Amino acid sequence: AALLAAASGTTVEAGGLDVQSLRVRANSLVLRATQMGLAAAKGAGYAAGHPAGRWCREALFFLVWSCPQQVMAENLRELAGLSKAAG
């Protein structure tokens, strides 16, 4: 239900997340998950056609595809260790 509410552009009641915060958290989760997939695949993940490499490219694509500036800024703060969650 919370995901449907976010998709419709309304505030997500569970946790009080707005759509922007949800997108930041989703980007963060996807990036961490794909990094772990690549780590588990080791060097093979870099080989052309390996699923882990494709997952990483797709996760990174979400950082730039129709990404609002505020979401991008928060993801960059998180990467730099300056986000609210990191501090």
pLDDT of res. 62: 82
φ, ψ of residue 17 to 5 degrees: the values are -85, 135
pLDDT of res. 34: 94
Contact (Cβ atoms closer than 8 angstroms) between residue 22 and residue 12 = yes
pLDDT in tens, the chain (87 residues): 565 666 666 655 555 678 888 888 888 899 999 999 999 999 899 899 999 999 999 998 988 887 888 988 998 898 888 877 544
**pTM (2 d.p.):** 0.70
| CA 5 and chain centroid, separation | 19
Cα dihedral 60/42/40/34 (nearest 10): 0
pLDDT of res. 87: 46
Domain boundaries, the chain: 19-79
